[in-house]
């Protein structure tokens, strides 16, 4: 059986888009589901767009979400190097094979001559001018020049590119794992550049050669690469590698929340959610990532896998290990899928509920210290986590939503105080104070019983003044379990707060 080998091959031209992260995830899950290998290959042939720090960012993003490659530039492997710029010398021999076989040609056209050609074609009413079988005969290339002229231009080191020679009558057919059979006629394809004037291969040549040499079994990539696939199929044919050609699978687009077009950074900014997994800094400044916005990697993974894949059941919650067992290419959707940030938040809520409490407590300790200069021991942090974890979406909300545990209220929910604060409420609070001054409590159940018993003894309905008790202790009219709050505060702080609030409310 052929070994399953897939690659995630990003270009280090900026921060890793969330769509790229999903592509990496799908590649990883397919490899693991088939007991295969997941390879990280850096496609840095476009040196003009190379951005310092982008490769490190990609590696860190994959590591954060839990996708560890089996082979990569840092790990190595028997099919390295894993940066295309380090593989540059090997590409020339494959260009020469194409030139010798008549499947590629030198093109010496200047940028100005290319512009003239495009304008001429546009003038003929063709809106999409391209360098193809119809126009190549009118341009300056090794198909229109004599062998001596070509040799002279090469000897003079005249700038040139190498273009694929697309057979205009060819019918290119290939089977996509997501979209089934696809057929394209050669007459609609242009003669893509395979090697640039700087001697670097383009994506088209380099990825085909590298996939062949690295024995890639499946190419799983975004839908935007589908128009390039016929050329890649032709290159496999030109080299005589049809038997080794990988299975293609093109993933559906991630759409804007309204479904109108592909999700972009601008659309994400407008909607107010991240587009990168981690913080990324560019010429526009700092762009916050999902990690820094408080999303857990497990939640983001679960959310991303359902953007274009379905498990065939109503189950929504999957660990990475579970996904490694159930993921299949056959369940990838053809149609684009909307990016629903509210669903991402929902997943984050669910994972926080089940997240290790000591990990969340560590976040609470750090946030309260850094944001509010409040320090205390881990036992209090654990109590805060247990109090609030059913009510928060992001870890940072523990610190923000627990300030009332450390600060006595000096303002009160106006609607509740206006409606419910009166002399009877004051009497009820005074009775409760008298009780817990005499009888301390250790648990939430104990304080709940003390509150109910003290008011019932005076023929006062405890439920009628529960919201007033919350108002006196926190200043708010609603919130998490009140008795848990009192248990965290303890009897002395509870007494002091209620007394102080009675004075403030009376004024």
Residues designated as active site: 265
As given in the structure block, the two tokens for residue 114 are: 């290319």
Q: Which residue has the tokens 């040196």?
A: 47
CA distance 52 to 280: 12
Q: 164: which strand partners?
A: 104
Pairing of strands 193-195, 161-164: antiparallel
Number of Cβ within 10 Å of residue 90's Cβ equals: 15
Cα 425 from chain centroid (whole Å)? 52
Helices 203-213 and 229-239, packing angle to 10 deg: 50
Give how far Cα 299 sits from Cα of 17, 263, 303, 337, 351, Å.
17, 20, 6, 18, 6
Chain centroid to Cα 131, Å, comes to 36
d(CA 407, CA 379): 19
Of 165, 145, 156, 186, give the one whose Cα is nearest residue 105: 165
Terminal Cα distance for the chain, rounded: 83
Helices (H), 404-481: 414-420, 423-438, 444-457, 466-474
Omega prior to 340 cis, within 30 of 0: no
Paired with 250 in beta bridges are 221
How far is the C-alpha of 232 from the C-alpha of 217, rounded, in Å? 14
In degrees and rounded to multiples of 5, residue 7 shows phi and psi of -135, 145
Element (H, E) at 51: none
Nearest to 165 by CA among 208, 206, 211, 106: 106
Rounded Cα–Cα distance for residues 6 and 8 (Å): 7
Instruction: Please name every residue paired with 182 in a beta bridge, in sequence order, or none if there are none.
Output: 174
Q: At CA 256, angle to CA 252 and CA 261, rounded to 5? A: 70
The region, left, alpha or beta by phi > 0 then psi within -120 to 50, assigned to residue 454 is: alpha
């Amino acid at each position: 059986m052929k070994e399953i080998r897939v690659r995630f091959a990003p270009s280090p031209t900026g921060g890793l888009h969330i769509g790229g992260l999903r592509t990496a995830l799908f590649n990883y899950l397919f490899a693991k589901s088939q007991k295969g290998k997941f390879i990280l290959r850096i496609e840095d042939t476009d040196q003009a767009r190379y951005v310092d720090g982008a490769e490190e960012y990609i590696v860190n993003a994959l590591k954060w979400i839990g996708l560890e490659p089996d082979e990569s530039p840092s790990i190595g492997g028997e099919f390295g190097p894993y940066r295309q710029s380090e593989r540059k010398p090997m590409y020339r021999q494959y260009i020469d094979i194409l030139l010798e076989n008549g499947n590629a040609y030198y093109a010496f056209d200047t940028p100005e001559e290319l512009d003239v050609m495009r304008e001429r074609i546009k003038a003929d009413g063709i809106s999409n001018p391209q360098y193809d079988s119809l126009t190549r005969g009118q341009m300056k290339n090794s198909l229109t020049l004599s062998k001596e002229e070509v040799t002279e231009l090469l000897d003079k080191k005249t700038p040139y590119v190498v273009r694929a020679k697309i057979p205009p009558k060819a019918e290119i057919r290939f089977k996509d794992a997501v979209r089934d059979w696809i057929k394209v006629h050669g007459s609609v394809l242009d003669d893509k550049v395979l090697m640039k004037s700087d001697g670097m291969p383009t994506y088209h040549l380099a990825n085909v050669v590298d996939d062949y040499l690295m024995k890639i079994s499946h190419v799983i990539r975004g839908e935007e690469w589908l128009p390039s696939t016929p050329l890649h199929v032709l290159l496999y044919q030109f080299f005589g590698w049809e038997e080794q050609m990988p299975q293609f699978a093109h993933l559906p687009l991630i759409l804007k929340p309204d479904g109108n077009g592909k999700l972009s950074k601008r659309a994400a900014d407008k909607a107010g959610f991240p587009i990168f997994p981690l913080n990324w800094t560019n010429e526009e400044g700092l762009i916050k990532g999902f990690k820094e916005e408080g999303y857990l990697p497990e939640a983001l993974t679960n959310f991303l896998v359902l953007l274009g894949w379905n498990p065939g059941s109503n189950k929504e919650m999957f660990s990475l290990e579970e996904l490694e067992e159930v993921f299949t290419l056959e369940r990838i959707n053809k149609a684009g899928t909307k990016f629903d940030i509210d669903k991402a938040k929902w997943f984050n809520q669910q994972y926080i509920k089940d997240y290790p409490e000591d990990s969340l407590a560590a976040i609470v300790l750090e946030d309260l210290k850094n944001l509010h200069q409040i320090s205390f021991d881990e036992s209090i942090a654990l109590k805060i986590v247990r109090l609030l974890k059913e009510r928060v979406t992001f870890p940072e909300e523990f610190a923000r939503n627990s300030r009332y545990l450390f600060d006595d209220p000096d303002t009160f929910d106006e609607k509740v105080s206006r409606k419910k604060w009166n002399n009877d409420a004051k009497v009820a609070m005074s009775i409760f104070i008298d009780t817990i001054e005499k009888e301390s409590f250790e648990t939430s159940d104990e304080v709940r019983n003390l509150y109910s018993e003290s008011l019932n003894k005076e023929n006062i309905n405890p439920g009628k003044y529960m919201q007033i008790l919350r108002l006196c202790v926190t200043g708010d009219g609603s919130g998490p379990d009140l008795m848990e709050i009192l248990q965290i505060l303890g009897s002395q702080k509870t007494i002091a707060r209620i007394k102080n609030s009675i004075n403030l409310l009376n004024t």
